[in-house]
Amino acid sequence: MKSFLLIFTVAFASLAQAQLTKGDAIKATTTVHPDGTRSTLVVDPSKATAEEIFYDGGQRVLRKIVYPLDAQNQSIGAITYDAKGTIVSKSSYKRDETGRIAEETITSNSGQFLRRRVYSYSSQNRISRVDEFDATGQQIMPPPRAAKTSPGRPDKKRR
């Protein structure tokens, strides 16, 4: 459980925001997290993907997340890999009428349903609550503290 919370916390750490439009060049952002780890996000609209790699305090890869992008360069899900490059889980996103991720469905590498997350937003368009449910529909943990950015890193706020 402790490692899941660490992964969840690191996964929702803040990143620099940039607006993407069709035809944009590759963009890269590196973030140093409070725990000393860092992540690099590379968005490549021509490949319709964004790739985020997390490193420990040195150069060792901890995990990688690949976000497939739609025609508007918004993430439609995520594929999470461990340090050895093995797929750990896959996520798919459902969006609300404003384009924010409203629900995330997480499956195993083999496609077995693992859990579902439902996101609520504040009037300032920030995540205010995340409810997480297991395969039976039971809430599996209390809502974590709200993050400052939305899930699905490559999503950028539209002007």
User: In the chain, what are the domain boundaries?
Assistant: 2-141
* E strands in 73-142: 77-82, 87-95, 101-108, 113-121, 127-133, 139-141
pLDDT tens-place string over residues 8-23: 333 443 333 344 455 5
3-state helix, strand, coil in the chain (%, to 5): 5, 45, 50
pLDDT tens-place string over residues 13-69: 333 334 445 557 899 999 999 999 999 999 999 999 999 999 998 889 999 999 999
